[in-house]
Amino acid sequence: MALMITDDCINCDVCEPECPNQAISMGAEYYVIDPGKCTECVGHFGEPQCVQVCPVACIPVNPEHVETQESLWDKYRRLQAQAAG
């Protein structure tokens, strides 16, 4: 599953640089996660890095983007291929 940031976000800026997929960016009011880029950190880390660092625990799974481990690995490989150009 991709993760999502809720409106509990306090815009502390801590999670954005931790994301290995550059999936986190500032939205209109608070930070947002691009579900097309979030692999739940699969391929990079054992645990979602944004969740580890968020001081207010406002990053649940995105119920609109339910994915299997296999599809997360597929997304990871697709992103790696894109990054390689």
Residues that bind ligand SF4 (CB under 6 A): 3, 5, 9-15, 18-19, 21, 23-24, 31, 33, 38-41, 48-50, 53-54, 56, 58-59
User: Exposed, middle or buried by CB within 10 Å (0-12, 13-18, 19+), for 5?
Assistant: buried
Q: Considering only CA atoms, which of 34, 24, 31, 25 is closest in space to residue 65?
A: 34
Distance CA 34, CA 30 (A): 13
| Residue nearer to ligand SF4 on the CB measure, 50 or 67 | 50
Residue type at 21?
N
Nearest distance from C-beta of residue 2 to ligand SF4, angstroms: 7
| Residue nearer to ligand SF4 on the CB measure, 5 or 84 | 5
Nearest distance from C-beta of residue 71 to ligand SF4, angstroms: 14
